[in-house]
A and B are shown apart, each in its own frame.
Chain A
Amino acid sequence: MISFAECSARERLALLLDARSFHEWIPPSERLTSPHLVQLGVPSAFDDGVAIGRAKLDGHEVFVAAQEGAFMGGGVGEVHGAKLVGMLQRALRDRPAAVLLLAESGGVRLHEANAGLIAVSEVMRAVLDVRAAGIPVVVLIGGANGCFGGMGIVARCADFIVMSDVGRLAMSGPEVIEASHGVEEYDSRDRALVWRTSGGKHRWLTGDCDALVEDDVQAFRAAAMAAIQRSCPVTLEGLEAEHALLETRLHLLPLETDGADAATWLWRELGIDQPERVPELDVGAVRTLRTA
């Protein structure tokens, strides 16, 4: 068993995809770097923190991107975002069986603030274009930096999300919330709280991810192979169902939980038996608990 979380972006690609099938576009040898980081005197990377290309998964042609969390937390800058958009536009043109996004990102790369924000928006629109074309977009989340900010929104625009229990999917990181509203609101050093609020088990129990796997590259590979088989078109009926689900959930969690843990409260309301046991259960046991 090889930990997905501990692999680099390129190691994940090498192990997840069919052996030696990954062909990279604009590889590091082309030295395409961010023009903005240089201005700030911040080190840049020859791939700007993301590898893109084509590959085979179980014999099917897929286009793929893997964000490198070790470089600026996987933050999306101008070049990084444009590489993602280019891969997605190429998918629209060449129609692979699916697109895989190995997401590990804090969202907008703040060092490129405005350019990064527009870039994430372009990625979001491009993902929805690919999905609308009937090409499944599958997001895999299991890196140590999680999937946050604009990339947390992008992930939810995809057809299918695979997460490990150590993966995190959210909007604002705990540090940002703590900086804004204090440690009483969100203690970013309380790891158990952070994982109850944003971790893979929580996202599985609420249906925010579609598959929950162990922190194992081969488990991600197996889940991805299953996920690329089906596309889920966005329809008015589907969005109405999503709206009803989110409205119902909103009313399950009161504004104040009187000191009780909010995630545990929500799990109980979702009908999960003995919700306080969830953090100590293994992935296989948690997988059986989902009620809807």
Chain B
Amino acid sequence: MNWNQLVTQLFGSYHGMRAAGDFLKGDVMFDGRPLTVVGTTNHAPIGVALALAQARVILDTIAQHPGRAILLLIDTQGQQLRRRDETLGINRAMAHLGMCIDLARRRGHPVIGLVYDQALSGGFITSGLIADGCYALPDAEIRVMRIPAMARVTKLSEEVLTALSQSNPVFAPGVGNYVAMGGVRALWEGDLAAALRDALAHTPVEDTRAQDGAERGGRKLAASVVQRVLAAA
């Protein structure tokens, strides 16, 4: 779904959101209350500039609108794979974005992430994955790395990785697997405004993903290993 259709379904035709290149932002009204929306489109690569643009919106929301809810709209091909961004310390810029979102959460801003198209590793870990809770549309995809690059790093063949991505939930990009593993709380289907309303009302502020993954059977060990460490002599 494109971003305009999405926000029209969520906030109506007069949503007032704008795209500047790959960057999305807006102050919208939802159920009579203002909400900050920030995100990306066009499968944007997240470089230093785009990370900072998003961080600016979060910082302004914290400073000017204490407690206001924030919706992160995610469509990214991952971090910008350029040497210039590496020279500039892209990991620091992305950590900065993540820490801005984290500070918003700690100051009582409900923060909801929504993967509405695609998400990849670096662009996702400092947006949807650091929200109070991350949700996804059913047709969205979440990947860690494209298969050719993954083949180069793992030394597994592209054929093997392609086969695994069809069947193995640890590799497959479908968002249903992320729900089973606890990384995505739920899929938004049908009435999207109702789904957002429900998410704002019921998303816990603590990190429940390991327990969710265990209960849903998609990530069976993480929660029990954490408990073993807590109980170790």
* Interface-central residue, A153, A185, A197, A240, by most chain B CB under 10 Å: A153
Q: Is A153 in contact with B229, judged by CB distance below 8 angstroms?
A: no
- Does B195 sit within 8 A of A, measured CB to CB? no
Complex Cα–Cα for A35 and B221 (A): 8
Determine if B87 is an interface residue (Cβ-Cβ < 8 Å): yes
Cβ distance A75 to chain B, nearest Cβ, rounded Å: 9
Question: CA A114 – CA B142 in complex, angstroms?
Answer: 8
Q: Which of A84-92, A219-227, A276-284 contacts B (4 or more CB under 8 A)?
A: A84-92
Answer yes or no: A287 CB below 8 A from chain B CBs.
Answer: no
User: What B residues does A253 contact at CB under 8 A?
Assistant: 84, 87-88
Given known pairs A175-B153, A185-B82, A246-B93, the reply for A114 and B177 (CB within 8 Å) is yes
Name the residue of chain A whose CB is nearest to the CB of B152. A179
Indicate with 1 or 0, residue by residue over B137-149, a CB within 8 angstroms of chain A CB atoms.
0000011110011
Inter-subunit contact B48/A114 (CB<8 Å): no
* Any A CB within 8 A of the CB of B203: no
The reply to whether the CB of A118 lies closer than 8 angstroms to some CB of chain B is yes
Is A142 engaged at the interface, CB distance under 8 Å to the other chain? no
- B194 interface hit (Cβ, 8 Å): no
Stretch of B10-18, B67-75, B205-213 with 4 or more beta carbons under 8 angstroms from chain A: B205-213
Known: A117-B124, A125-B130, A236-B62. A152 touches B91 (CB 8 A): yes
Chain B residues with CB below 8 A from A239, complex form = 55, 59, 96, 99-100, 103
Given A157-B99, A179-B149, A240-B59: A79 in contact with B225 (beta carbons within 8 A) = yes
**What are the residues of chain A within 8 A of B220 when measuring CB–CB?**
35
| Nearest Cβ on chain A to B195's Cβ, whole angstroms | 21
Q: Kindly supply a per-residue 1/0 record for chain A positions 71-97, scoring 1 wherever the CB is within 8 Å of any chain B CB and 0 otherwise.
A: 000000011011101110110010000
Contacts of B124 in A (CB 8 A): 117
- Pick the residue among A125, A171, A250 that contacts B49 (CB under 8 A): A250
Contact of A171 among B79, B153, B219 (CB under 8 A): B79
Q: Does A70 contact B (CB under 8 A)?
A: no
Q: What is the number of contacts between chain A and chain B, taking CB atoms within 8 Å? A: 238
Residues of B with C-beta under 8 A to A136: none
Q: In the complex, A181→B62 CA distance in Å? A: 37
Interface of B is mostly: helix
Residue from B85, B126, B153, B181 within 8 A of A118 (CB atoms): B181
Known: A32-B225, A35-B220. A247 touches B83 (CB 8 A): no
Question: B98 near A: Cβ within 8 Å?
Answer: yes
Measured between beta carbons, the chain A residues less than 8 angstroms from B164 are: 40
| B86 close to A170 (CB less than 8 A) | yes
Question: Considering only CB atoms, which chain A residue lies closest to B107 in the complex?
Answer: A236
CB–CB A40/B83 < 8 A: no
Q: Shortest beta-carbon distance, B138 to chain A, in Å?
A: 17
Q: A36-B170, A117-B121, A122-B222 are in contact. Are A52 and B144 (CB under 8 A)?
A: no
Which residues of chain A are near B209, meaning CB under 8 Å?
Answer: 118, 121-122
* In the bound complex, CA of A125 to CA of B128 (Å): 12
Are the CB atoms of A236 and B63 closer together than 8 Å?
yes
Q: Which one, A83, A113, A234, A266, contacts B150 given CB within 8 A? A: A113
Q: How far is the CA of A180 from the CA of B181 in the complex (A)?
A: 29
- A155 CB within 8 Å of chain B: yes
**Using Cβ atoms and an 8 Å threshold, which residues of chain A touch B98?**
124, 153, 157
Contacts A118-B129, A153-B126, A177-B83 given; indicate if A93 touches B230 (C-beta within 8 A).
yes
B208 to chain A, nearest CB (A): 10
Q: Mark A253-279, 1 if CB is under 8 A from B, else 0.
A: 101000000110010000000000000
- Report 5 cross-chain contacts, Cβ distance below 8 Å, ordered by A residue: A36-B170, A86-B230, A115-B219, A170-B90, A266-B87
Closest 8 CB pairs of A and B: A86-B229, A156-B95, A82-B225, A152-B91, A25-B232, A121-B129, A118-B183, A86-B226
Interface residues of B (CB under 8 A from A): 48-49, 52, 55-56, 59, 62-63, 79, 81-96, 98-100, 102-103, 106, 121-122, 124-126, 129-130, 142-145, 148-150, 152-154, 156, 164, 168-172, 177-178, 181-183, 207, 209-210, 213, 219-223, 225-230, 232
Give A contacts to B, CB under 8 Å.
25-26, 32, 35-36, 39-40, 52, 78-79, 81-83, 85-87, 89-90, 93, 106-108, 110-122, 124-126, 128, 132, 149-150, 152-157, 169-173, 175-177, 179-181, 185-186, 197-198, 202-203, 206, 208, 234-236, 239-240, 242-243, 246-247, 249-250, 253, 255, 262-263, 266
